Amino acid sequence: EVQLVESGGGLVQPGGSLRLSCAASGFTFSSYAMSWVRQAPGKGLEWVSAISGSGGSTYYADSVKGRFTISRDNSKNTLYLQMNSLRAEDTAVYYCAKAKAAAGLVNAFDIWGQGTMVTVSS
Amino acid sequence: EIVMTQSPATLSVSPGERATLSCRASQSVSSNLAWYQQKPGQAPRLLIYGASTRATGIPARFSGSGSGTEFTLTISSLQSEDFAVYYCQQYNNWPGGFTFGPGTKVDIK
């Protein structure tokens, strides 16, 4: 079964850091680009960051550029999101999502994790 | 940045009726448009990609159409499990990023 399981969320103070993980199973992880998408409470979906299958190319939304870093360890089938200088407006459920087709970032997201909640508050 | 808009914000429909949801892009996204369904407390689920191709396991009552800047998701006969929020997403403007519409909530009339 194709599955994504996020972890690492929690409560953090403004200015703090957090690292999210997304464990993948059931598919050849290194063949697929991956993204992080977030959803603030009661709001819509916002794409945050994407990474190519090899990890050699990374992309960020303007709202997180310079503060967040996406990475992956293909030997561990795991995606990461390092979040620094967190702000109240970063409070959201963070989902990892798999690109539908192999070899390419220009794709819909066909598999999503269950999400992990990040709360930035003092 | 491509801005996605959806209408209506809320659609009240009776079970068994047809629902038509609209999505508009601020500039052409070709056919690089997806639709997702999200129920409360759940992750989004891919329904349609390439503007009109149903994802694996999606019932035939869901159909997508359109290209360029105007897109439609049609649910031919609403079932109880279809009441949810629906988002469109463009993935054409790369590496500019992916953008989602604000969503249409389909609720019971």
Tens-level pLDDT at each residue, chain B (109 residues): 899 999 999 999 999 999 999 999 999 999 999 999 999 999 999 999 999 999 999 999 999 999 999 999 999 999 999 999 999 999 997 777 899 999 999 998 8
Q: Which two tokens stand for residue B45?
A: 């689920």
In the numeric block, the tokens 């970032």 are attached to A105
Q: What is the pLDDT of residue A102?
A: 83
* CB-CB contact of B75 with B60 (8 Å): no
CA B90 – CA B35 distance, rounded (Å): 9
- Minimal CA separation from A51 to chain B, in Å: 11
Binary contact (A106, B55; C-beta < 8 A): no
Q: Which of A4, A58, A100 to mutate to test the interface with B (most CBs of B within 10 A)?
A: A100
Binary contact (B46, A106; C-beta < 8 A): no
- Minimal CA separation from B45 to chain A, in Å: 7
Residue A103 has pLDDT above 80, yes or no: no
Contacts of A39 by beta carbon, 8 Å cutoff, 6+ apart:
A45, A46, A92, A93, A95, A115
